[in-house]
Each structure stands twice: as structure tokens, then as C-alpha cells.
Amino acid sequence: MEGPDVPVAPMLDMAFQLLTFFVLTYRAAPVEGQFVMNLLPPQPATAMAAAPADAAASNELPATLRTLPVVLRADDAGRLVQVNVADVDVSNDPAALQEELDRHLQDPDSPFDQTLIKVDPNLRYAELMTVIDAFTNAFIKAKKEPKLSFDELRGDEGG
């Protein structure tokens, strides 16, 4: 018994024509480019007084509670005129700044292991470097790794 004779050549021709059509008309989706993201501002969400006293030295504290906030203000000429460390004004006296940093970083009950420095955009680079040197020395004295973050101080921010 012989089955029906089905011609294979026209089916192969049609398959290759369809394959060629889809290969030539394929357009890859464009690669996703940049997109705008709004992140939360780098500021503590909780007051330091809200942290339990026994958890002060623990790494279980959120990063915002382990971050020492610092504000650097400059005059119109770019000179450092005010340094504010954890809401304590140390003016621009290097000795007072070093003493305040040592008080915060060398205290074993202090939770601070990193620093967020909000810098006035008018501040000169040399002035900023003197403050960074003071922080580096304080972290070294406290036998901690220096962790410094920077943010631009906006005019509407207090401190």
C-alpha cells in the first residue's frame, strides 16, 4: 500500500521564505536609557534621643542614627565662618572642632561611625580640606575607619 505523494520542495520554499521575512523585518527593542529617580534627602529620619541607650553601640541602629551630622557655612568670600557638629556650634576654631570630634568619636557609648558633612557651595576647597583633615585625625585617634559623606548645603536648611 502506497500513501499519497506529498511534494516537500514547495513546503521547504515557503518555510525559508517565512524565515527570511521574519529575520529581515525583526527590530530589536531599544535598550532602556537613563531615567530620572528622586531619592530621599540624606538626613536623619529619627532624632538621636529616640534611640534606646543600650543599643547605642550596636550596629543594629539604622545608618541615620549612626551618622554624625556636620554643617559647614562660608561667607561670600568662601572662608569658613561656622562649623556645626551635631547641633553644637564650634564656630571655625580648629581646636574646638578637634575637641568636639574627639568627644563624639572616642566615646565608647557614642553610636557614630560615619559622618555626613553638608557643605556650603561657596566654601573654598582649602577650607574644606582643613576640616577633612580634622575628621581624619579624629577617626584615627578613635581607631575607626574614616567614613565621610558630603552633601550640598541648601539655603533653606537650618544648622
Phi-psi label, residue 143: left if phi above 0, alpha if psi -120 to 50, beta otherwise: left
> Does 38 map to a domain?
no
| The predicted structure's pLDDT at residue 159 | 47
Cβ proximity of 117 and 152 under 8 Å: no
The verdict on residue 72 lying in a domain is yes
Cβ atoms of residues 153 and 72 within 8 Å? yes
Instruction: Give tens-digit pLDDT for 11-23.
Output: 999 999 999 999 9
Instruction: Classify 152 as helix, strand or coil.
Output: strand
Q: Is 44 contained in some domain? A: no
What was the pLDDT predicted at 55? 45
Asked if residue 58 belongs to a domain, the reply is no
Q: Is there a domain that residue 24 lies in?
A: no
Is residue 102 domain-resident? yes
Cβ contacts of 82 within 8 Å, gap of 6 or more: 71, 72, 73, 89, 91, 92
Count: domains in the chain: 1
Given the C-alpha cell 560615619, which residue does it identify?
114
Residue 101 forms part of a structural domain: yes
| pLDDT, tens only, 118-156 | 888 888 888 888 888 888 888 788 777 777 888 888 776
Q: What pTM does this model have? A: 0.56
Question: What pLDDT is stored for residue 9 in this prediction?
Answer: 94
Domain with 145 in it: 65-152
Q: Is 103 exposed, middle or buried (0-12, 13-18, 19+ CB in 10 A)?
A: middle
C-alpha 116/C-alpha 149 separation (Å) is 5
Q: Is residue 135 part of a domain?
A: yes
